[in-house]
Each structure stands twice: as C-alpha cells, then as structure tokens.
Amino acid sequence: MNIPIYQVDAFTNQLFGGNPAAVCPLKEWLPAATMLQIAKENNLAETAFFIPKGDDYELRWFTPEIEIDLCGHATLATAHVIFTQLGEQRESIYFHTQKAGILSVSCKDDLYVLDFPSRIPEPTILPEGLLAAMGGPAPKFVLKSRDYFLVYENEVEIAALKPDFNALNKIDAIGFIVTAPGEKCDFVSRFFAPQVGINEDPVTGSAHCNLIPYWAEKLGKKHLHAFQISERRGELWCELKGDRVLMAGKAVTYLKGEIFVG
C-alpha cells in the first residue's frame, strides 16, 4: 500500500520555522497501531491522518507515543495540504474528530483560521517537583485544564526556563504550558510534553485553547497577537469568540512523497 505523505511547517511563513507536522491523506482508516507506527517513524510532534466524510473530513492525530485528543498545528497543516495540494476551492472546511467535536478551518488571504473549543484553566496546587523540574523562578500563578498552566512575570523568564524533562516526565500530565506577557506582542508561551514523546513542542495550537481565554480576560481584549518562543518560533493571531477560540497562522510545504506500508 502506498500512502501519500506531506510535511508542513505550521504557524510560520518560513521553512524550518514554526511546527513541522506530517499529513497523510487516506481513503479509509488504517488500524490505529499502524498509524501509531507511522507517527513513530516520522518522529515529529504529530502526524495527522484524514479521510473523506461526505463534503467534510474525519481527522485523527498521533504523537510518537499516543493518539492525542486535539492538535492545532497538525490541523492547520492538514488544511494547508487540502487547500494547496488537493485543490480545495471552498473558503472553509470541516473536520470531524473523536474527542474535540467538529473543527473548522478557513483560508483567508495567506492565513488559515482555526475554530477550536475554548479550554479555561482553573487554579490548582503546584504539584510536588514541578518547580524544580521547570528550572527557573516560581510562577506567579498555577492553573490547570488538561495541561498544567504556569504564569510567569515576563518574557525573559519564559525564555530562560531550562526544564529537566526526566523530572517533568514523572509528573502526571499530558503537557505543561508556561506563559507571560510579551515584549512585542500580547503574550508569549512555551509548551513541554515529555510524557507523549515531545520534550518541547515548537508551536502548540491546543495550548492556545487555554492561553487565549486566559489572556483575553487578563488584558481585557478579544483580539490578541502571540508568539510561542521555542527555538523554531511561531506566530499566531488569536480571537476569543464566546466558548470558541480562533487561531490564525501561516504554513509552508516542506516535502511530499509516499509511504510504503505492506
């Protein structure tokens, strides 16, 4: 069986920036174990697989370790493939997902606008070992939704964090969001997820489901500009829209080819 594969750098307009994702169009679902093996072989933060569903699509995401419930950059990458490689002419497309409901992506000028559910983080207690594992000063606030959400004083503190990933891996959480006000934008962030095989994710759409409602409330504004300040760096234009969040970003195709699966 030959499966098409694309690799796309998401949330950037430059190759080797943003967050790389693999995208595999399928006619029907492969066994989950096979999709996980492909994701392991790709060794990227996420590999997205999609199939047609009438005029829409079904979408699933795999890290090298697990099938994940929600992934922003691989959704953007998938939309980029559908619009630029598969000839989609509509302005908006819809993805049906198992755990995140229906997600839409619109193509407007050179931006892809993702419509995702809002996830509001709630105050929680700092778990034992997390402060030392982060390798930096104590956060101002500790919150949690799916992921731990740590708020710091400024961008310099976020950039200087040097996490101990072995120690983070011992704390029961899918991921760890760290954030602060930005120097040249509304807020900055980083995201760590060693338990699912991603020490530091370059740009994380699902984290912004938390970040957007938090900073919209703190800053008193619904339209926000953000950077995820990983080494590869990503840029997002964001909006809080009721119980949904909009994330807009760019993408570029890095490669296309075929996978040979027996």
Catalytic sites, residue numbers: 46
Write out the two tokens for 199. 């020490």
User: What distance in Å separates the CA atoms of residue 148 and residue 256, rounded to the nearest whole number?
Assistant: 35
CB 7 within 8 Å of CB 20: yes
* Spatial contact of 236 and 223, defined as CB atoms under 8 Å apart: no
Give a three-class secondary structure readout of the chain. CEEEEEEEEECCCCCCCCEEEEEEECCCCCCHHHHHHHHHHHCCCEEEEEEEECCEEEEEEECCCCEECCCHHHHHHHHHHHHHCCCCCCCEEEEECCCCCEEEEEEECCEEEEEEECCCCEECCCCCCHHHHHCCCCCCEEEECCCEEEECCCHHHHHHCCCCHHHHCCCCCCCEEEEEECCCCCEEEEEEEHHHCEEEECCCHHHHHHHHHHHHHHHCCCEEEEEECCCCCEEEEEEEECCEEEEEECEEEEEEEEEECC
Residue 129 tokens read as: 């070992």
Residue with tokens 């996490």, as numbered in its chain: 163
